[in-house]
Structure formats: structure tokens, C-alpha cells
Structure 1
Amino acid sequence: MKKNNKDHVIDIRSWLFKFQTRWYVFAACVLVFLAIAYVFVQKTQRVYSFKSTLLLGDQQTGSKKAQELLAILDSQNKGIKVEDEIGIIQSAEMIRQALKNLDYTVSYYKVTDHWLNSITDLVVEEQYQDAPYEVDLDTSAYQLVDIPIVVEVLPDNKFEITAEAKDVAQYDFSNHTVVDFIPKVDIKQVLEFDQPYKDKYMSFKLSRIIYMDPQPGEKYYFVINSMDKLVGQQQKNLKIRPIERESRVLELTSEGSIPEKEIRFLNALMQEYVFRDLEDKNITGRKTLDFIDSQLAVLTDSLRRSKQAVSSFRSTNRLANINVQSNQNYEKLTRLESDRAKLVTDKIYFQNILEQVQNGDGITESVSPASASLQNPNLNNLFADLSELYKQKAGYRVNSTEDNPLLKVLEGKINNTRSAIIANLKNMVRSADVSINDVNQRITGIESTLAALPENERKLMDLQSEAEFVDKKYSFLLEKRAEAAIALATNATDKKIVDKASLAGNGPVNVKPKLIYMLALLMGLAIPAVVIALMDNVDNTIQGKNDLSAITRIPFLGVIAHGTVDDKLAVKNNPRSAIAESFRSMRVNLQYLLAGDNLKVIGVTSSVSGEGKTFCSVNLASELALSGKKVVLIESDMRKPTFEKYFNTKNDSGLSSYLTNGLPLEGVIQQTEVENLDIIPCGLIPDNAIHLLELPRMQELIDSLKDMYDYVVIDTPPIGFVSEFFILMRHLDTSLYVVKHKYTNKDMLDQVNELYAAKKLKNIYMVINDLDYNKTYEYGYKRKGHYYYA
């Protein structure tokens, strides 16, 4: 029956004692972790953080005056979505274009002169614009990419290159594609600087940098980077976020080991984004000018011919002014002709837009240039919606595949919007046809009125009307072209670089030596502490008096100190030892407990063999004898006799002989070298020991010995293996239950606890054997007792 009436509390001093006894484990772990931390600090390249800011603007283009004049370019300003712009900036295509403007194709590294590199190449630093050599790639040839090519400088302007790798990509830099995979690459060759190297895998040349001349024995390596690898690295390191919610100012951050490289990349990325935005706006303006120029080219010849026709007709027919009535009719006719011309122009314009939309020409991720001059608000809104859908699609493409359901939904919305635009344009063409027919009917009426005029005057007025119409149309287009040219000339992007890239923070973000060493020290202390705690919790053996008090209610008598194998009879052979002192203390306690009740028979047992039961019974009996008491020690464990290890005994006669052969008591008692101590060995090993102990003669033996001796000590068999103890229990006045420190399993006490709880065992006491004072906190104070022990 386990004792659970005490609250579980953590004994800090006990744990500190356990840790102190294993100080060497902590020292070794701390040294190991500090060594690992040192190697990590030395070999890890420092990574720094960089940041810049970018203003998105509000989508206004050109100067304010141009915005007022150029109604042809007006569109609904529906604003921009910050998330879409972030997606565009982080897109692979945008980063690819920025990297093409930078020379990051080859990365250079140097194996530094550090003692760790004598083991292997651990400490390596990247070089940028300070490498003592330069790799000149032959971009017309295929190259092996993304593997280190080691360069070892030799005397006489020579170097040795080596490269070993498997499944290496062969890259075509003309179109930035992988053309093949080489299963195994093994290159080793000695060359001179400026001597081209070319084989079936790659082609390049190494040139010395005069002011950074590499010295013989120095070791370097370089890596030819594929564009996909560079883009992937920059996408991974690039982070973009608004500086505040709903803000149009974006903060771009990146990380890298070479400050200049990362600063150049961030600046190049922002510049590319701003340039692309301005270029898209310029393309819109140029397409508008091209359309107007194409119309003006047609009208220039028409205007010249119409004016020439009027001049020739007047000269030929010598015509003067036309009367007022004719002028009024012709004015009406001119206005109608002008209206019809405008309607025809609009119809052509609408048909042109319709053709562009149906053929996909001019429909890009920005508003179509032709759509900008439409005076239909609904159609302008549709074009603005289409532009917004394309931006959303660009944003999703950054981190999504073509099979993404959101992309398919956006694609459907784009198709629906295009269909709505086509339907609106067809309606506008049909509306223009209706208006043209109406104007034609009105012109026919006026022409009927003018038919009554003289033929020459009527023809002159026809020619003048046609010339005026062409001239007005030409003037109108010239005006619009001037406005479009002004807008294009003053065009500006709404995107702006606010802060160029710069270093963020005061040091590297990945390697902080003080913090790393502190963490290594803490791990070196914490890990062994956790392991020791786990081992202590897993260990189910008796650790000391507190363990016993927690699992049993049986009273505690004392402890036997740890000794050497030679201390078989310690109380006699080494009376000043800690073991002898332990038995003296136990003898005093036992005599105090047995005083006045005529209790003489003491049984010594344990759970299993090996816990020191016989050792305790022999030395206890010896200690009682040395104190002046007459003692007899009985070896009742007739299955595994061990007295011959302690005494010079004869086993031909003993307890078994007395119980079976009827030998007299004097024939089985043997004297020992310990004064006042006699023993009765087990004798010959019987076939059935338990039956012998059940014989009435055993009771007679005990009764006789009680009359002859002050104490009768019985070394009984282990309670956990055999049943003899329960037979002998009726003869015992008191029992000692021996457990061994760090040996006896706690579960082995369940049986004796049940017997004690059922009150079948009386006067039983617990004894801890072989307790090392140096390994237990409870008796740690006894370590100082070595001054009193020999």
C-alpha cells in the first residue's frame, strides 16, 4: 500500500545536489555546445536586413493642364488595390527584369585563412566586386549552373579548377532556359589566367584583377547562377507591406550577406516597377496619337482636293456671291453635312474599337487606348473594370498556378466584361447608323429645296459645303492630336521612390555572437539537467529514506553505508569504517526497540537476492556479539547458502542435518573468529527446504537457542522468491527488511506492504543497504564523517 498523503513538492536543494554530483556532465555539455556555437558563428555568413519605401500614387498621369485638356484620355478613376500592386512587384517577371539590369550571374566566394578550414572548408565568405579574379562567361555556349567550381591559385600565373557534382543543370543564357541535365560532372584541370576553358559542358575565361592579385595557395570558388535560382532567392528574401493600414506607401525589405548587392537589387526593382508603369502609360498615349495620325493622313488629301475643286469651279464658271436664301439653306445643309460626317467618323471609330476588342488588339492589363475617347460612361466603366480584373489576375499569379479556382473565376469575369464591351460597341454602331439615316433624310429634303437654284450655284455650294466639312473635321482632329501630344509629352508615373534602399539595423540579423554563446551555455546546462531529471524519474529504484517513506508505512530503522567488496565482515575487520559505524548505529536502535520485552529472535530478509540480506545479518550479528552479547546466527536460506564467504564453516552438518537427521544441537553449532558469535550453517542442501522449516523440531531449535543466547539472528530467504520467510515468520520477534540503494525496485515492496497493512507482519523495520553518502542529498552531511572513519 503506497503512501500518498504528502503533497508532491519540488525539493530544490535535492535537485541541486543531484546536479552537483554530475558536474562533469554539465561541464562536458557546456564545452560541446560552446564549441558548436563557435563553429556556427565562424562559418555562418552574416545576413543583414535592408529596406526602402515606394509611393503608389493615385493613378493620375501627366500634368494638371494636360488632364484638363485631354478628355480623350479620361477614364473612371477607381483607385488601385495595394495587394495587387504588391503582387506585381513580387512577381517573378518583375524581379527577372530587375536582375537582368544587374550583373549577378556569377557569385564569388573565398575560403578564408581560418584554422577551422584545416579540417574542411567551413569558413567561407562571399565576395562582391572585391574578388581577385573575374569570370568571363561565353553566353553563346551552354554553361553548368548552380554548382561550386573551386579555383586554387598556383604559381606561375596558373590555377586549378575542380568541380564534382551530380544531376547538374546545363543552361542556355541566350534565352535563360535549362537545356539538359548532366548525370555526373567531374572536372579537374590546370589553366593559366586569361586562357579560355571550353568543353562540352561549359565555356569561360578567368582573368586576374591586377590590384587584387590572388596569391599562390589561396582557395576560391565561384557559382554560375541560373536566372530561375536568382529569382527564387530574391522572391524568398523580399517582403513588401504597407507602412500602415490603407496606406499607399509600401515598405520593401530584403535580406542578404552583401550589402551593396541587396541595396542595388532593391533600387533596381523599384526603378523597374516605376519604369514599367510609365512605359504602360506612354504606350497608351502613343497608340492614341497613332490612331489620330492615321485619320489625319486620310483627311489631308481630302481637304486638298475639296479646296482645289471649289477654286477650279469658281474660276471656270466665274461665280460670285449666293443670295441670302441660298445661304440659309446651304448653312443648314452644311450643318447637317457636318453632323453626318461626325456621325460617320464616330461609326468608323466605334467599328475600329470593336475590331480591336474582338481581335484582342489593344486589350492589355491597362485600359485600351482606343477606349479612352468614348463619351459613353457605361462603356468607360466596363473598360475600367476590365483593367481592374487584369490587375487582380496579375496579383494572384505571383503565388498561384493556372489551376487555381480564383484565377478561373477571374478569367470568367474578364470574358464576361469583354462580351459586355462588344455588345455595347455594337449597339453604338447601330445607333450611329440610325442617326446617319435620319440626317440623310433631312439632307435630302434641303437638297430638294436647293434643286430649284441655278445649277452652277448649286454645284458651287456643294463643293463649298464638302470643303468646309473636311476642313472642320481636319481641324477637330488637329486639335485633339495637339492635346494628346501635350499629354504624352508631360506624361509622368504616379509611382515614386520615397526612400532608396539602405541598411536596416546596426548589425546582422542571423548571427549575434553574444546571444548565440548565451544560448549555447543555457542549452549546455539545460539539456543535461533535463536528461538527469528524466533518468531520475524513469529510475524506479530506492534512492533514499524519502523514497521509502513515500511508498511504505513500515518504520525505518537505519542505513548501511556503502563499502568495498572486501568488507565482508566489516564490523570486525575494519571497526572504524563507515560500514561498522552504520551497524553500531543500527544495533543501538534495535536494542532500544527490543528492550524490556524479552524479544530475542531477529529475522533478516529482503525482496530478491543481491540486496545484501546475508551481509546485513552477518555484520549485525557480529556487532551484537562484539557489544558483549552472546549471539547465534542461523543460515535458514538452504537453497542458496553463502556463509562460507564470511566464515570458515563446514557444511557437512548444519540446520538441515539438525532438522532431518536428528543431530544434537551441539553438533550443528559452530564457533567463529568473532567473540561471542556462533553460527548454524544451512548444512547439506535439502530437496525440500520449506518442509524442513515446517517441522516441530524447528520450534524446538528456536526455543533452545533463546535459552542459550541473548540474541538469535536468522538469515531468512528473500520474500520475493520463495515462501520460507512466511514459515519462519512465526518464530521471529522482530524482522528487518533490507533494500539496496539504487538496486531494489519500488514495486518489489508491494507484497510486504500488503502484509503489513493486513497486520500479518509485526515489529518489522526497513533498512537501506549500500547507501553511498556521496550520491544522496539526504545523507550528504555524512560525507564529512570521513575524518572519523579509517
Structure 2
Amino acid sequence: MNENIRLLKPLFRGFPIVVLTMLLSVLAAKKYLNYVTPMYESTTMLKLADVHEGVPGANLFKDLDVFASANKISTEIEVLKSSMLIEKAISELPFELEIYRKGDMLSVELFNNSPVHIEGTFDSEKALDKRYSLQISSKNDYYFSYPDSKTKIKGTFGKPLKIENGKILISLNEDFINSKKDLKIIDNYEFEFLSKQKLLAKINKNLDIVPVDKDVPVIRINLKSNVPEKAALFVNKLAEMYIKDYIENKYRAANTTVSFLNNEIDGANKKLSESEENIQSYRDKRNIINVRQETETDLRKISQLKIQQTNIKMNLDAIKDLNKYIASGKDDYMSLAPNFEAFTDLLSTEMVKNMKKLQADKKDLLLTYTPENEKVKIIDAKLKDLIDYQIESVKNTEKNLQVKYNELSNDIEESEKVFIGLPEKEKILNILNRDFNLYEKNYNFLNEKRIEAEIAKSAKIAFHKIISPAEVSKSPVSPIRGIIIVVAAFLGLLGSITLIYIVHYAKAKVNDAFTIEKNSTIPIAFSTPFIKKNENIKNNFLKEAIQMELKGLLQKQSIIVVSSYDKSNHHLFHSKNLINAFITQGRKVLAIDATGELENLIPKNDYVNYADSKFLSYTKTSFFNEIQTKIESYDLCLIHNQSIKEDQLGLLFMNLATQNLIVLDSRKTAEKNIIKIELLKDEYQLPNTWFVLNKAGYNPNVLVEIKKLWKKYFTKQVTKK
């Protein structure tokens, strides 16, 4: 804790300097703020269209990338930063002319509050980017001058003035002048027509376009300007031109797409018509109505014919077998038992019944008659006629079935000829139909897209929108008065503290006991505080005399030498007051003065002056013998020595001393002198050396010291007079 306080002592001393420096710094900062040009910032927030949400995500725009694209936010930022878009915004703003009211220290730009209108037409760009001077002398006349020129050209308001590379027309802004009653028109002004390149450079320097967040499609457009109206106007106009440019690009793309789609639809229509004609021609040529239905009908017909053919074939085979059976047993026909399942004619059935009846009648007759009987023969004749007829009927049936079978075979063969070349027909027809479907699908798609494109062309809207338009800033963003004043005060504080410690360490005074103990092995006998009141001097030195006695420094007839390094008056205060303290204690003290400064301060009977130059020739032995002779009747001898720096008799008396007290003034003695004294002690073997710290703990305010110096200087001036 004590160490911290010791380190802070220089700061306590220089506290007035700290306060003064901080005050000057704040005043300088305020003065600077009065002359620095403030910068204002305006911000507009622009929300980008999101193709995944809202109207842009509808089917109207999904298939055509030209209308809505998922551009990255960084891409849109680069579009906003593009020279093309900035130029479009600038072209609609009155930024090409800057008018300034010129002051002694600061020129202020006049934007909407200029008392004059200035117009210019130029033949060359050399007239641009130059700061022309304008001095208004009255409400009728003015003086124009070129940059860095003292020549003035007189002009009249409302009349063109020809200048190098062009003409200018300056007129009074009557509306503005009438709106301001106390407006000062007569003054010095400057104006400059900016080229497009310089204007772009000024805008780009102070323009900042950043996303609110990498995942949020919202862009923040910022601009700093010394005119707040300019900043607000530009960022709003840039956002507006971005949306306008987006709409124009969308309309242009939609218009181009509509034209393209119309051309494509015409081509697709022609191809579709050709495909339809090809299908019709092929169908007419091949007599094709519906291949699938015709094929199914023909297949059904052939199937039916084959079924009929199969049935007839079965009957024909049965008849053939019957015919063969009858032919093999025709001699005994009545004994045959043929299967007439395939021969189911009703007439045949009746004939068989009649034949069986005649056969039964014959058997009945044979019971009565012989085979040769006329009745029997008649029955045999009837049977023979029926049998012959039956056999012939079977043969005719076989022939009839055979004819039917052959006809069905021919019909089937003819029907099957229809399928010859059918795969090729289907293949060609499928190709023609496929081409037709392709052209039809393409035609329908193009028509659908044309409708969508025409809708997009008609809807002149943008899905980007300004969600927070910029407003004219009321307070500047730079310089920030509060921060600059605080920083100036802090820098003043830091600078003053640094200066205080630099001076403190550069002066390198003794300051305190710690400095002595750090640099030397010589002990401190006692420390004398800074005594403000004279009545306290006596008590303090009596206390120090007691301390010396307790430390064993005051022996019978001891020789105490009081010295200092730089000047003898640095230890005069201690020499005089120690003598008085010893006398007050009842000691008889011999005072030896090597400087002459104690004369008239000590009783003459106890005072010896060695300040005369004749004593410079004395040797150590001479002084020692003389002092020993004089000290016999005294308790103590105190020598007020010369300064060690003078080094005439100072080291000699210190060598004779019983105790050496070297006074170090905390405010005057340099720290390096401690080491010098340490070296002198070792070199000259000075006995019993002690340090006395004067003004211990004294940390005077700088103002106090300045006051003392002023009094000292004033006293000298009075003395000289």
C-alpha cells in the first residue's frame, strides 16, 4: 500500500497540471469540433424477393428462370454497388453542382439553402472539378474568379457569363431568400461542377451496402455525407432505381420471351399441321380407320371362321368314317349299326325308322311266306330303295361338308392376309403419332408459357421492396462530440500523467527514504518533515537530538559534521537548529563554520569561522589539533561544512568527524548524488556516515511551487530596483 502511495505521489503533485491539461484538451477538442465538417448518415432497408415464398414462388415463375432467380445476397449487393446503377441514381439527383459558403476557417456546403442558382454549359471537361470563387457584392452584381487566381470578373445576376471552356448563369434564389428574413446574401462563396467520375468516387467512398444477416434477404444501404439531405436522397433513390431496374429487366425479359415464344409457337404449329397431314395421308393410303379396332374385328372374324371350320371338320370326319363303314358292309346293310350322331338329318331318321319297320314286316312275312313271295320281294325292293337312298344321302352329305370346309379354309386364308404387313403399319403409325404427340405437347407447353409471359409482361411489379426508407439525419455520425471530448480529456489525462512521470524520472530527486535505501548502504539517522510553522522547528529538532542520542551518535566531545552535496545552504537549516537543540538540552556546543553562514546566528564565544581563504593551506593535522584544543571545554562540536561538490575543505572536515550527517533534500537533491556519496565514503574512508532526509513526506503541489518561484522572482526584481 505504501509502495502504491509512493508511486502516486508525483501524480498528486502534478494534479493541477492534469486538470489544466484535460481542460485545455477539452477546449481544443471543442474548438476542433467547431471547425470540422460533420458527416451525416442515412440508411434504407431493402428486402429482396424470395423465390421460395409468396408470389414469386408461384407456378407462374417457377419454370422460367428469367423472371425470378434465387440470387445470393452478395450478388444483389454487387448489383447495387455497380457503377451503372449508381449513375442512374445520380442522374436523377441534383448532385453535379456543389455550392459552399466560404468562411475564414471552414467552408459549409449549401444544398437546398443556397441563395443563388448556378447553371453551366461546358465545351470541355476541363471546366469540371474546379473550385470557382464567387463574391456577392450586392443583389445585382457579383465577382467571379478562377481557382488560385486573384483576378476577379464582374458579373450580373441573371445574365450569362462566359468563362474558359463554357458559360455559367448565376441568378438569385428568390424563393429561398424570401423565406429567410435575416438571410445574409453578401458573402464569399465557392462552387464546383463535378464530373461523373469524381461524383462516383465521392459516392463510392462513403457508400456502404451490407446484408443485415447472411441468411436474411434484407440489405442495408448506408451513405455518409456532410449534407444530411444528400445522404437520405441518394440511398432512397438508389433503392428505387434498383427496383425500377429490376422491373425494367423483368419486363424486357418477359417481352423478349413473348416474342421468342410466338416465333416458336408458329414453328410448332407448322410442324403439328404437317404431322396431322402425314397421319391423314397414311391412313387414306392404307385405308386405316382404327388399327386396333380393325385388327380386333379381323381376329374375331378369323376366330369364328376357325370355330366353324373345326365344327365342320368334326362333322366331315364323322361322315367319312360313316361312309367307309357303310361301304365296307353294304352287302348286309341291315346288319350294320352305324353311328348316326354326325348324320342327324330328320329325313334320314324317318328313313331308318321305315327301314326298321319294313325289316320287321319282312320278318313277319317270312313266318308265313317264303323269300320268293311277291310280298317279301316287294318289301325287299322297298328296303333296297331306302338303303340306296340312305347311302347316296351320306355320300352327298360328305361332299357338302367337304365343300363347306374348303370354303371356310379359303375364307380364313383370305382373312389372314389382312395381317400381312401389320407390324410395319403399326410401326409407321406409331412413329407418326409419336411425332404428332411431341409437336402437340410442345405446342401446348409454349402456349401455356406464352400466357404466363404475357401475364408477367403486363404485371409491372417488383417483389423487392423498401421496408425502411431513409430519413434526413438530425445528428452527425462523425465527429461524435461526446466521444471526441471524452477521448480528448482522456488523452490530456494520459499525456499529462506521462509528462509528469517523465519529468519526475528525468529530475530523479531523492523523494523519500525508499530511494535512499534502494541506492545506498548508508543508514538514515533521522528524517526531518517539512515544517510550515516556525514554532514547530524547536520541538522537531529536540526530538531529532534525542533520536541521535539514542542511536549513540552523541558521545562526549564528539565532532559532528553536517554536510550536503550541492550547496551549503541545503544543510544550513539543520546545522543552525541542531546547535540550538543541543544548547536547549543543556549541552555546551562549539560551532565551527566552514562557510561563514552561521555568523551572527551563534554566540560569538562558541563560534569559530573557518571560511577565510587562509585556512585552505591548513592540513588535516592542523585542523585536528586546533579543534581538539578548542573542544576540551565543550560537550559537542558541530561543524557546518562546505558542500561536498565544492570539495575545498568539505572532505577534510568529514574525515575528521566523529559522526558525518549528510543532508539530502527530498525536493532538491538528485538521486544520483546518493551513489556519488556512497563512492566518496568508500574512497576517502569517511567515518560513521549517516543520511538525514530533509522535507520527508513533503509532496508540494505544482501550483505551490510556481507560487514560490513567482515570489522569489518578484523579490529579486524588487531588490534590483
Q: With structure 1 as the length reference, what TM-score do the two structures score?
A: 0.58
Structure 1 counterpart of 2:632: 707
- Given that 1:285 and 1:488 are in contact with CA atoms closer than 8 Å, whether structure 2 keeps it comes out as yes
98, 123, 128: which one aligns with 1:107: 98
Count of matched residue positions in the alignment of Structure 1 and Structure 2: 562
Alpha carbons of structure 1 residues 741 and 68: separation in structure 2 relative to 1, 3 Å? closer
- Given that 1:560 and 1:579 are in contact with CA atoms closer than 8 Å, whether structure 2 keeps it comes out as no
1:458-502 alpha-carbon deviations (Å, 9 max, x no partner):
xxxxxxxxxxx9999999977765554344334654423223223
1:598 CA drift (Å)? 0.5
1:96-145 alpha-carbon deviations (Å, 9 max, x no partner):
2211221111123335xxxxx6xx233x5433222111110214443544
Structure 2 counterpart of 1:92: 83
2:198 paired with 1:273: no
2:14 paired with 1:19: yes
- Given that 2:133 and 2:189 are in contact with CA atoms closer than 8 Å, whether structure 1 keeps it comes out as yes
Alpha carbons of structure 1 residues 163 and 743: separation in structure 2 relative to 1, 3 Å? farther
- Given that 1:47 and 1:256 are in contact with CA atoms closer than 8 Å, whether structure 2 keeps it comes out as yes
CA distance in 2, matches of 1:740, 1:473: 109
1:721 CA drift (Å)? 7.6
- Given that 2:67 and 2:254 are in contact with CA atoms closer than 8 Å, whether structure 1 keeps it comes out as no
Q: In structure 1, the residue corresponding to 2:14 is in which secondary structure?
A: helix
2:123 paired with 1:198: no
Structure 1 counterpart of 2:30: 38
733, 737, 743: which one aligns with 2:662: 737
1:250 CA drift (Å)? 1.8
- Given that 1:542 and 1:741 are in contact with CA atoms closer than 8 Å, whether structure 2 keeps it comes out as yes
67, 75, 80: which one aligns with 2:71: 80
Moved more, 80-89 or 713-722: 713-722
Alpha carbons of structure 1 residues 562 and 496: separation in structure 2 relative to 1, 3 Å? same
CA distance in 1, matches of 2:52, 2:549: 107
2:167 paired with 1:242: no
1:539 maps to a residue whose letter is: K
CA distance in 1, matches of 2:117, 2:514: 74
CA distance in 1, matches of 2:447, 2:667: 106
1:539-588 alpha-carbon deviations (Å, 9 max, x no partner):
3112245544554551233449799xxxxxxxxxxx96998998777667
1:12 CA drift (Å)? 8.6
Alpha carbons of structure 1 residues 285 and 773: separation in structure 2 relative to 1, 3 Å? closer
Alpha carbons of structure 1 residues 127 and 623: separation in structure 2 relative to 1, 3 Å? same
Structure 1 counterpart of 2:49: 57
- Given that 2:641 and 2:650 are in contact with CA atoms closer than 8 Å, whether structure 1 keeps it comes out as yes
1:734 CA drift (Å)? 1.1
1:521 CA drift (Å)? 5.0
Structure 1 counterpart of 2:343: none
Alpha carbons of structure 1 residues 304 and 610: separation in structure 2 relative to 1, 3 Å? same
Alpha carbons of structure 1 residues 139 and 100: separation in structure 2 relative to 1, 3 Å? farther
73, 94, 119: which one aligns with 1:136: 119
Aligned counterparts, 1:497-512, within 5 A: 497-502=466-471, 507-511=475-479
- Given that 1:561 and 1:772 are in contact with CA atoms closer than 8 Å, whether structure 2 keeps it comes out as yes
Superposed CA RMSD: 5.5
CA distance in 1, matches of 2:151, 2:257: 58
Structure 1 counterpart of 2:194: 225
Q: In structure 2, the residue corresponding to 1:129 is in which secondary structure?
A: coil
633, 644, 648: which one aligns with 2:592: 633
Structure 2 counterpart of 1:606: 564
Aligned counterparts, 1:154-233, within 5 A: 154-165=137-148, 188-213=152-177, 215-233=184-202
Unaligned runs of 5+ in 1: 1-5, 112-116, 166-184, 311-320, 332-441, 450-468, 564-574, 636-641, 649-670, 784-790
- Given that 2:655 and 2:686 are in contact with CA atoms closer than 8 Å, whether structure 1 keeps it comes out as no
1:535 maps to a residue whose letter is: V
- Given that 2:122 and 2:166 are in contact with CA atoms closer than 8 Å, whether structure 1 keeps it comes out as no
CA distance in 2, matches of 1:202, 1:585: 96
1:755 CA drift (Å)? 8.3
Aligned counterparts, 1:487-566, within 5 A: 487-490=456-459, 492-502=461-471, 507-511=475-479, 513=481, 516-517=484-485, 520-521=488-489, 523-525=491-493, 527-545=495-513, 547-548=515-516, 551-552=519-520, 554-559=523-528
Flag the structure with larger Rg.
2
Alpha carbons of structure 1 residues 610 and 510: separation in structure 2 relative to 1, 3 Å? same
Structure 1 counterpart of 2:256: 287
749, 765, 777: which one aligns with 2:690: 765
CA distance in 1, matches of 2:208, 2:626: 94
Structure 2 counterpart of 1:775: 700
1:243 maps to a residue whose letter is: V
CA distance in 2, matches of 1:546, 1:290: 97
Structure 1 counterpart of 2:105: 121
- Given that 1:600 and 1:712 are in contact with CA atoms closer than 8 Å, whether structure 2 keeps it comes out as yes
1:537 CA drift (Å)? 3.4
1:268 CA drift (Å)? 1.2
Q: In structure 2, the residue corresponding to 1:164 is in which secondary structure?
A: coil
CA distance in 1, matches of 2:554, 2:275: 152
1:243 CA drift (Å)? 2.8
CA distance in 1, matches of 2:616, 2:536: 38
Moved more, 252-261 or 83-92: 252-261
CA distance in 1, matches of 2:50, 2:658: 103
2:3 paired with 1:8: yes
CA distance in 1, matches of 2:96, 2:561: 89
Q: In structure 2, the residue corresponding to 1:678 is in which secondary structure?
A: strand
CA distance in 1, matches of 2:439, 2:491: 90
- Given that 2:557 and 2:634 are in contact with CA atoms closer than 8 Å, whether structure 1 keeps it comes out as no
Unaligned runs of 5+ in 2: 178-182, 292-420, 429-437, 709-721
1:597 CA drift (Å)? 2.7
Structure 2 counterpart of 1:252: 221
1:193-243 alpha-carbon deviations (Å, 9 max, x no partner):
122233225532111111233655333333322323332333233333333
1:269 CA drift (Å)? 0.8
Alpha carbons of structure 1 residues 8 and 299: separation in structure 2 relative to 1, 3 Å? closer
- Given that 2:101 and 2:189 are in contact with CA atoms closer than 8 Å, whether structure 1 keeps it comes out as yes
Alpha carbons of structure 1 residues 199 and 474: separation in structure 2 relative to 1, 3 Å? same
Q: % of aligned pairs identical?
A: 18
1:266 CA drift (Å)? 1.2
CA distance in 2, matches of 1:137, 1:51: 32
- Given that 2:39 and 2:476 are in contact with CA atoms closer than 8 Å, whether structure 1 keeps it comes out as yes
CA distance in 2, matches of 1:96, 1:744: 74
1:290-343 alpha-carbon deviations (Å, 9 max, x no partner):
445556788999999999x99xxxxxxxxxx99954454999xxxxxxxxxxxx
Aligned counterparts, 1:97-496, within 5 A: 97-111=88-102, 120-122=104-106, 124-142=107-125, 144-165=127-148, 188-213=152-177, 215-292=184-261, 324-326=284-286, 328=288, 481=450, 484-490=453-459, 492-496=461-465
Q: In structure 2, the residue corresponding to 1:8 is in which secondary structure?
A: helix
Q: In structure 2, the residue corresponding to 1:604 is in which secondary structure?
A: strand
- Higher helix proportion, which one? 2
2:236 maps to a residue whose letter is: N
CA distance in 1, matches of 2:105, 2:599: 68
CA distance in 2, matches of 1:596, 1:714: 14
CA distance in 2, matches of 1:717, 1:150: 75
Structure 1 counterpart of 2:323: none
CA distance in 1, matches of 2:82, 2:283: 72
1:649-677 alpha-carbon deviations (Å, 9 max, x no partner):
xxxxxxxxxxxxxxxxxxxxxx9874521
Structure 1 counterpart of 2:399: none
CA distance in 2, matches of 1:525, 1:140: 58
Alpha carbons of structure 1 residues 514 and 767: separation in structure 2 relative to 1, 3 Å? same
